[in-house]
Amino acid sequence: MRWLVVLSAARGLPGGFNLGDEAIIREIYSSAGSVFEWGLGDSTHIAAEVGVKRYKGVDSSATWVDNVREKAPAHFELVHVNIGRLGAWGHPESKNATPSFAAYTMGPLTGELPFDVYLVDGRFRVAATAAAFLHASAGGKRCLGPARLFMLVPIRLFWA
């Protein structure tokens, strides 16, 4: 069973979980052998606490990656991707797409086997969600069917 968990920025929370979110993530991660996360933090610590065997996560803030790394198990692979100057919560100050935006979304997945859980709680949520579906279905396996999409709150798309 594969999971795709998408946390919505529309929840009104700048970061972190409420207690209900934490319980759900803990339950999902407890039965997962592998986890990939866009956005590091509370969920990364939960992955460590429940003993996830294979973990990889990406974040846009080098300082935050270093902070999370201090408490993460040695086998956790934490990746920083420089997407330019950052504003609050790791958002890029410039909205002009650069190759680093794609590197953040797809780069850390290159060469990796599919994961049991993909958690999208970082930058570029729509692109990361698409990347998770593509990666989970690598090797000709269908993502939908044995996979479950779980959204704590629906994603809101805004068209400019």
Q: What structural domains and CATH numbers belong to the chain?
A: 2-115+123-151 (3.40.50.150)
Taking the C-alpha atoms of residue 56 and residue 84, their distance in angstroms, rounded to an integer, is: 22
At a CB cut-off of 8 Å and minimum separation 6, what does 40 contact?
A: 57, 58, 59, 64, 65, 68, 78, 122
Euclidean distance between the first and the last CA atom of the chain, given in angstroms as a whole number = 36
- Among candidate residues 44, 40, 39, 47, the one with its CA nearest the CA of residue 129: 39
d(CA 108, CA 79): 7
**Cβ contacts of 44 within 8 Å, gap of 6 or more:** 37, 55, 57, 68, 72, 76, 78
pLDDT in tens, 64-115: 999 999 999 999 999 998 887 767 766 667 766 577 778 888 888 888 888 8
- pLDDT, position 30: 93
Whole-angstrom distance, CA of residue 19 vs CA of residue 148: 22
Query: What is the C-alpha to C-alpha distance for residues 46 and 23, in angstroms, rounded to an integer?
Result: 10
pLDDT digits (tens, 9 = 90+) for 130-144: 888 888 876 544 443
Nearest to 134 by CA among 153, 151, 115: 115
Instruction: Using alpha carbons only, give the angle 74, 75, 79 rounded to the nearest 5 degrees.
Output: 90
Tally of residues, the chain: 160
Q: Name, of 20-24, 52-56, 111-115, 125-129, the range with top average pLDDT.
A: 52-56
Is 29 exposed, middle or buried (CB count within 10 Å of its CB: 0-12, 13-18, 19+)?
buried
